[in-house]
């Protein structure tokens, strides 16, 4: 019994040590926007210096607390715990610049903004973005870029120690999808390969935007927010501020790329083109994007809103790309296009794009599996003696996979419903509550009504912001990683 307790204590000390290492890295990240502020002659560099110092000090204390740990093996439950704590701690320390800047936010607003950034939700409580310093704007973009592929995947790529201390449980806790695939035998190699593709695509987008109407700073921030499918912008009017169809077309393309499984992008970049176009999920993704683009075009026509040929060419594709990839960028007033457009947006927010991408939502993978399951159940109703399996990308799915998909969908919708009712209890209308909750758990960021084009998430009560922040985290870690922490069985050996 004593040995068992020793193992448990060692594992939690290991969690503290690794968490300390994560905070040390975040402290160094905070120095980057501080340097940006100093370059532009802004006083917010002091806020970042204080935040970085506090984060590095806290990380050092936690690392020292676990320095004598003997165990180097992180089991599944500790991996889930560390993954969840990493996102919470990153947000808790990452919000300090917002509290200490020249345009300070409240604690609830600062945590909401930071969680929205790291989870790439893109919902904001800042009503005047252009009043913020360059350092704050860059930090918002950098948070989304780091959170795009995942904080843990970022850490696994740069910290060798985590490759020994149970990287597989952390990888599985954060990676999205029905099944978890790896490119290489070692998780760190997989993380580095995916981040290489991510960095190269970001650099390509940055150059394309800089060649257009954006300056260097705006191009870099928008590039990071786009590839991460985050949606934070440096302008109050969002992408509409540049009045450029070129920008809309380039961002549409890269948002759609951000919605593809990065393992497929890696294989495509290395010449395996068939792997992309033979993938069931990728084909379903393209078909879904095409269908909803047509729906938005029809909605624009039915709304009676004056639209030019250019509007029909660029705005539907941009809106669909933004909604289905959970980016949340807006280009034009989609609320004026009527209930059909809003309904389509809501469905796309729930669907999401491909698993293994930077996007949120339930993921096309799960939607496809559920549709196939419905087809099989109908077939069995007619032919009860026939055996018909469900496959995805050529692999037959086990009953465990099917049960997990069904459970995920059930809990996803249940959490959205409960959170909606709670927001309604604070006086927010049903429509506004449901849209905000669906947007948050889907890591989308698009608003409607009081959180839409004429409003802001800052209007919501503080309790509502904390609830939505929790939904962002739950949605980003695909529910079970977080929900498991609140079960009695998780804490019992």
Residue at which a domain ends, from 184, 211, 237: 184
CA–chain centroid gap for 362, Å, is 12
In a domain, 292, yes or no: no
Q: What is the pLDDT of residue 5?
A: 44
Query: What is the torsional sign of CA 432, 437, 438, 439?
Result: positive
| Cα 95 from Cα 110, distance rounded (Å) | 5
Residue 235 burial by CB count (10 A; 0-12/13-18/19+): exposed, middle or buried?
middle
Q: Is residue 266 part of a domain?
A: no
Q: Is residue 235 part of a domain?
A: no
Spatial contact of 41 and 147, defined as CB atoms under 8 Å apart: no
Q: Quote the Cα angle for 222-225-229, to 5°.
A: 135
Tell me, yes or no, whether 15 lies in a domain. Answer: yes
Residue at 89 is within a domain: yes
Q: Rounded to whole angstroms, how far apart are CA atoms 469 and 452?
A: 18
CB burial of residue 40 (10 Å; 0-12, 13-18, 19+): middle
Relative orientation angle of helices 187-211 and 216-227, to the nearest 10 degrees: 140
**C-alpha distance from residue 243 to each of 78, 149, 307, 332, 446 (Å):** 49, 30, 15, 10, 20
Q: How far apart are the first and last CA of the chain?
A: 11
* Residue 192 placed within a domain: no
Residue pair 240/333 in contact (Cβ under 8 Å)? The answer is no
Q: Would you say 151 and 114 are in contact if contact means Cβ atoms under 8 Å apart? A: no
Residues counted in the chain: 493
Note whether residue 334 is domain-resident: no
- If you compute the radius of gyration of the chain from its CA atoms, what whole number of angstroms results? 22
pLDDT of residue 4: 45
Residue 394 lies in a domain: no
Q: Measured between alpha carbons, how far is 230 from 148 in angstroms, rounded to an integer?
A: 7
* pLDDT value, residue 490: 72
* Residue in 65, 104, 85, 74 with CA at minimum distance from that of residue 22: 85
pLDDT for position 330: 79
Q: How many CB atoms lie within 10 A of CB 286?
A: 14
Return phi, psi of residue 422, to 5°. Answer: -65, -45
State which of 184, 209, 230 marks the end of a domain.
Answer: 184
| Beta bridge partners of residue 396, listed in sequence order | 391
Distance CA 301, CA 412 (A): 33
Asked if 44 and 136 touch (Cβ cutoff 8 Å), the reply is: yes
Residue-by-residue pLDDT tens, the chain, 493 positions: 444 444 445 577 778 888 888 899 999 999 999 999 999 999 999 999 999 999 999 999 988 887 776 656 667 777 778 888 888 999 999 999 999 999 899 999 999 999 999 999 988 999 899 999 999 999 999 999 998 877 767 766 666 555 554 555 555 555 655 555 555 546 667 778 888 899 999 999 999 999 999 999 999 999 999 999 988 999 988 898 998 999 999 999 999 999 998 888 888 888 888 888 888 999 999 999 999 999 999 998 888 777 777 778 888 999 999 999 988 887 777 778 888 988 999 899 889 888 888 888 889 989 999 999 898 889 888 888 787 888 888 788 888 888 888 898 999 999 999 999 999 999 888 988 998 999 999 988 877 777 766 667 888 999 999 999 999 999 888 888 888 888 877 776 5
Angle between helices 134-149 and 151-158 (to 10 degrees): 80
What are the structure tokens assigned to 324, written together?
A: 């289905």
- The domain in which residue 427 lies consists of 400-491
Q: Indicate the residue among 150, 184, 218 that finishes a domain.
A: 184
Residue 225's pLDDT is 94
Phi-psi group of 231: left, alpha or beta (phi > 0 → left; psi -120 to 50 → alpha; rest → beta): left
**CA–CA gap between residue 208 and residue 413 (Å, rounded):** 39
Pairing mode, if any, of strands 395-396 and 391-392? antiparallel
Given this model, what pLDDT does residue 242 score? 92
How many separate domains does the chain show? 2
């Amino acid at each position: 019994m004593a040995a068992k307790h020793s193992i448990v204590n060692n594992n939690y000390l290991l969690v503290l040590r690794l968490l300390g290492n994560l905070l040390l890295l975040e402290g160094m990240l905070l120095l980057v926007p501080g340097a940006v502020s100093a370059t532009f002659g802004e006083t917010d560099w002091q806020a970042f210096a204080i935040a970085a110092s506090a984060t590095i000090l806290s990380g050092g204390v936690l690392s020292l607390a676990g320095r004598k740990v003997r165990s180097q093996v992180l089991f599944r439950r500790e991996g889930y715990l560390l993954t969840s704590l990493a996102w919470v701690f990153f947000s808790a320390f990452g919000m300090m610049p917002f509290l200490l800047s020249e345009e300070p936010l409240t604690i609830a607003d600062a945590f909401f903004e930071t969680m929205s950034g790291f989870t790439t939700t893109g919902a904001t409580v800042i009503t005047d973005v252009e009043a913020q310093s360059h350092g704050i704007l860059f930090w918002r973009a950098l948070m989304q870029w780091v959170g795009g592929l995942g904080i843990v995947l970022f850490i696994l790529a740069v910290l060798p120690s985590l490759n020994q201390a149970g990287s597989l449980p952390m990888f599985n806790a954060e990676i999205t999808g029905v099944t978890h695939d790896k490119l290489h035998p070692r998780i760190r190699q997989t993380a580095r390969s995916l981040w290489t593709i991510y960095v190269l695509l970001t650099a390509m987008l940055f150059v394309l935007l800089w060649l257009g109407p954006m300056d260097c700073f705006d191009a870099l921030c928008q590039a990071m927010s786009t590839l991460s499918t985050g949606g934070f912008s440096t302008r109050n009017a969002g992408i509409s501020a540049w009045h450029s169809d070129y920008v809309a077309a380039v961002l549409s393309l890269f948002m759609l790329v951000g919605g593809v499984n990065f393992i497929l992008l890696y294989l495509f970049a290395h010449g395996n083109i068939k792997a992309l176009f033979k993938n069931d999920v990728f084909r379903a993704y393209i078909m879904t994007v095409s269908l909803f683009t047509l729906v938005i075009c029809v909605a624009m026509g039915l709304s009676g809103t004056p639209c030019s040929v250019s509007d029909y060419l660029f705005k539907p594709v941009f809106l669909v790309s933004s909604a289905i990839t959970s980016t949340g960028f807006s280009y034009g007033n989609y609320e004026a296009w009527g209930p059909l457009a809003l309904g389509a947006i809501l469905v796309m927010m729930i669907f999401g794009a491909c698993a293994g991408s930077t996007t949120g939502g339930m993921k096309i993978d799960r939607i496809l599996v559920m549709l196939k399951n419905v087809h099989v159940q109908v077939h069995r109703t007619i032919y009860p003696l026939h055996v018909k399996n469900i496959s995805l990308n050529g692999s037959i799915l086990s009953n465990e996979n099917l049960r997990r998909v069904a459970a995920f969908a059930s809990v996803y919708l249940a959490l959205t419903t409960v959170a909606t009712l709670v927001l309604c209890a604070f006086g927010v209308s049903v429509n506004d509550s449901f849209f905000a909750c669906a947007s948050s758990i889907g890591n989308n960021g698009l608003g409607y009504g009081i959180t839409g084009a004429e409003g802001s998430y800052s209007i919501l009560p503080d309790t509502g912001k904390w609830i939505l922040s929790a939904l962002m985290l739950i949605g980003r870690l695909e529910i079970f990683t977080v929900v498991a922490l609140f079960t009695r069985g998780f804490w019992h050996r």
